[in-house]
Chain A
């Protein structure tokens, strides 16, 4: 049982390494970073309690928001999805990504207190 899981995972990783372009791997690395940051924040909150609750929420939601925006960016710049995003060029996707991040950061900084 465990061996099949391991084999599935290793197969998956192989496929991933071969078929994804570097550009997408860069974005994936960024996604992993955001994920880890959010998870660590959550862990801290579980350990210590939610004393400055607004700060915790601000940090956590900014991680979640960034993750979502990065996923959107990844989807939009993936050439395999080009058919669904005919009007959106990768540059346009990146510009949207930046603008949305500005708004997210503004709100998060406002809320962190």
Chain B
């Protein structure tokens, strides 16, 4: 009997399309609450009071105890500091019925601050203070102030820079984020300043729609803020993006974490997570991903309690994935108002006509076919030995529509009760979407390690679009394998036992010749020296002509020293030391030798030319 059909829609927001960028990072209600909580911390000084009070007012919330805040500001304002006056003035303006009284000297000092000598932030603070306190301003001061809002965000700038040039300094990161390298605070302050300036001069800011969305991604990617000033900058950016005359980014998101609700429900909000009540949300087209057939076209959503609903199920779609193209209209300022969503329709599966049989290999006709109904288990167990095949056929259909399904996972698992071994096979559908599984006992014996016994047969069915994945113990099968081997239990392949220890083999020294041989050859190699001495003696070489002049003595001593140095080099020294000593001894020997040989030459010359 068919179960009641419950079809659920799962809605995902596709991250980024090539043509139209949609925000991938945005504040949800819990983030806005967290931002509010950060800004509601108790004040420590005037600057934090300014951030808290003004930040909360930008979120549309008033500070907890306004009288307390007002008296705190009045108590902490230091009339001599332009910065303190600025914080006090802005904060008091945000609190209703809070007035700061300023003396004439203070007013004059504020006017004096708006001059060429002051720094950018000083000028900005003075002009803001003057305007917030309700004091008259010269008109050019106003324009300067707004232009400087942007410049003061980047404190490195000391000269007046137009916001339009600043926009060129933004870094595009991967097409998703657009931010200043100085960080989140600078980017957020830039955004609030840019929109304030644009609203004031009634000119569209020099940002393309894609850039606006990239800025949204950068500013709202951080969901917890390190400092009060960072939280303040994010709050002012959010306020600026929600309430300016030119751009209003739209955030479309699914309702609930997994979105399993009847109908396709969407949150359509601005960046401060306020629903856009005046917007019209329309499904431009809904096509099935598999068959590319259009299911819906130009169907509107209905707004109920801040949530936009669509009754998708009325058109009875088949299970699978659908691509929705949603458009949000109603305000010319809307940015990123075309969204592509992927919707999944899932269904329940039913298993029909599960037939189990044991077929003899010789005949093709089954001996017995047993039908098993889900979720019961087959009563008798099936016996298959090596001459038989075990076969199983079944059909998988959609419970409600009766259409045949081909899920991604259809496995047949055989589990041996005694040994704990399990073998998994895949069941394949034929052309008529009828699933078949055949087990040839003889062919598959290696997978079973030829262990005969009772195996529990399970059918596993699963798919992303199925609500009820199936694990069904269909029957027990007794398999008898030929040539059963001795091992009764399968060694579970335990990978995490210690492996056999590897003994390190040290490098074996090279084989040397026997010492006797080496010594023999040493003697042999030195023997020609004796021969030399004998020959020289026979030839009559002598040193009778040796003159004991100092240069020749020195030469011979030096030469002997050089040879000695060679020996010492071999045993003790390195090249650098040797070269050092060699240089010393060598130069001495050279000089002495030069002298000696010159004397010899003179002697020889005089002898020959007598």
Contact = CB atoms under 8 A, between A and B. Distances in A.
Chain A interface SS verdict (over half): helix
B512 A29 contact: no
Interface in B486-530: 510-513, 517-518, 521, 524-525, 528-529
B372 interface: no
B597 to A, nearest CB: 4
Interface string A77-89: 0000000000001
Interface in B309-352: none
Given A32-B535, A40-B528, A110-B569, 16 more contacts: A22-B541, A25-B539, A29-B532, A32-B528, A32-B531, A32-B532, A33-B531, A48-B517, A51-B510, A90-B601, A91-B600, A102-B562, A105-B563, A106-B569, A106-B578, A109-B569
Interface string A21-41: 010011001101100110011
Interface of B: 510-513, 517-518, 521, 524-525, 528-529, 531-532, 535-536, 539-541, 559, 562-563, 566, 569-570, 575, 578, 582, 586, 593-594, 597-598, 600-601, 604
Contact of B566 (A30, A92, A109): A109
Contacts of A112: 570
Contacts of A22: 539-541
B594 A40 contact: no
A40 B517 CA distance: 13
B575 A36 contact: no
Contacts of B559: 98
B531 A36 contact: yes
B586 A102 contact: yes
Nearest to B512: A51
A28 to B, nearest CB: 9
Chain B interface SS verdict (over half): helix
Contacts of A49: 513
A50 B598 CA distance: 46
B598 A91 contact: yes
Contacts of B604: 90
Nearest to A44: B521
B123 to A, nearest CB: 77
Contacts of B532: 29-30, 32-33
Contacts of A109: 566, 569-570
Nearest to B532: A33
26 contacts: A22-B539, A22-B540, A22-B541, A29-B532, A29-B535, A32-B528, A33-B529, A33-B531, A37-B525, A37-B529, A40-B524, A40-B528, A41-B525, A47-B517, A48-B517, A51-B510, A90-B601, A91-B598, A91-B600, A91-B601, A92-B597, A95-B597, A98-B559, A98-B593, A105-B563, A112-B570
Interface residues of A, number: 29
Contacts of A90: 601, 604
A100 to B, nearest CB: 13
A54 to B, nearest CB: 13
A32 B205 CA distance: 101
Contact of B536 (A26, A41, A47): A26
A67 interface: no
A108 to B, nearest CB: 9
A88 B563 CA distance: 26
A105 B559 CA distance: 13
Contacts of B517: 47-48
A36 B539 CA distance: 19
Contacts of A92: 597
Contacts of B540: 22
Contacts of A44: 521, 524-525
Cβ-closest 4 pairs across A and B:
A91-B597, A33-B532, A36-B528, A29-B535
